[in-house]
Amino acid sequence: MIYLKTREEIEIMRESALMVSRTLGLIAKEVKPGVKPIYLDKLAEEYIRDNGGVPAFKGYKSHNGAPDFPATLCISINEAVVHGIPTDKPLNEGDIISVDCGVKKNGFFGDHAYTFAVGEIKPEVRQLLDVTKESLYKGIEQMVSGNRVGDISYAIQQHVKKQGYGIVEDLVGHGLGRNLHEDPQIPNYGRRSDGPKLSEGMVFAIEPMINMGKKGIKLLKDGWTFVTVDGMPSAHFEHDVAIVNGKPEILSSYAYIEEALALNK
Ligand code: MG
Ligand code: MG
């Protein structure tokens, strides 16, 4: 069942989404060679708790018998697609790191992600990041009343397909609200005019996960981290989007990240 949100609820959700955006902005300032992912995680947790939020991923129950997720951020490096556990292994020049963060505040969730470059990265990896981010916005454009979930999926797929990248099929975007994962599922591939119809008050986390090589992924022994089967890099961008007045309104924001990245240069 898809839960529709009132305007008031959407405003509360914007606050949760923006708390994640500000957290990622803070992380953006710190992503550089030599930094330990667990340090980034500590910063994020402190910031969220200091601002009256609760980290949504920490303690998240596994479906496969693995221990509960131990951290505030999912940090997925290079061939890791999503759900990576932050470690104390320092970042290296040329890495890419996908940082996904979830927050619960006032009973509603925010869930939003960005893939960062660590120092200089290869042009072909930069292109993977750019195309994945562009595909997110192509999908968001389709989040219009009267369209269907498949229109979002198809737009993402069409944009990514041109590059020959692999689209992760086993993991998908989702509805968002009082639960971190609600109906409907939002695959990053699909057919136009397929799936549930979109209407006013829907809020989705749209999140293309795109591999430079083949689409296949596998789960590591830690029970959380998904990596590409071929070992090629993978990118992940996610926004929280509501339908307001029939049109998509992005509740999260990359402005904090982009401001921090511009200062780092
Ligand atoms: Mg996420
Ligand atoms: Mg999500």
Q: What is the pLDDT of residues 202-239, one digit of tens each?
A: 999 999 999 999 999 999 999 999 999 999 999 999 99
106 Cα–ligand 2 center, Å: 19
Q: What is the pLDDT of residue 193?
A: 95
Q: What is the mean pLDDT of residues 124-128?
A: 98
| Cα 208 to averaged position of ligand 1 atoms, centre (Å) | 10
- Going from the Cα of 44 to the center of ligand 1, the distance in angstroms, rounded, reads 14
Per-residue pLDDT for 40 more than 90? Answer: yes
The CATH homologous superfamily of the domain defined by 7-264: Creatinase/methionine aminopeptidase superfamily (3.90.230.10)
Tell me how far the alpha carbon of residue 185 lies from the centroid of ligand 2, in angstroms: 10
For residue 246, the tally of other CB atoms under 10 A from its CB is 13
Question: Minimum-distance ligand to the CA of 83?
Answer: 1
- In this prediction, residue 63 has a pLDDT band, given cuts at 50, 70 and 90, of confident
Q: Angle formed by the axes of helices 255-264 and 7-30, to 10°?
A: 20
Predicted TM-score (pTM) above 0.95: yes
Quick one: how far is CA 233 from the chain centroid? 16
What CA–CA distance (Å, rounded) separates 177 from 15? 12
Distance 127 CA to ligand 1 centre (A): 22
Q: Does residue 265 carry a pLDDT above 80?
A: no
Instruction: Show me where the domains of the chain are located.
Output: 7-264
Looking at 65-159, which runs of residues are DSSP E strands? 73-77, 80-82, 96-105, 108-117
Give Cβ neighbours of residue 181 (< 8 Å, ≥ 6 apart).
174, 175
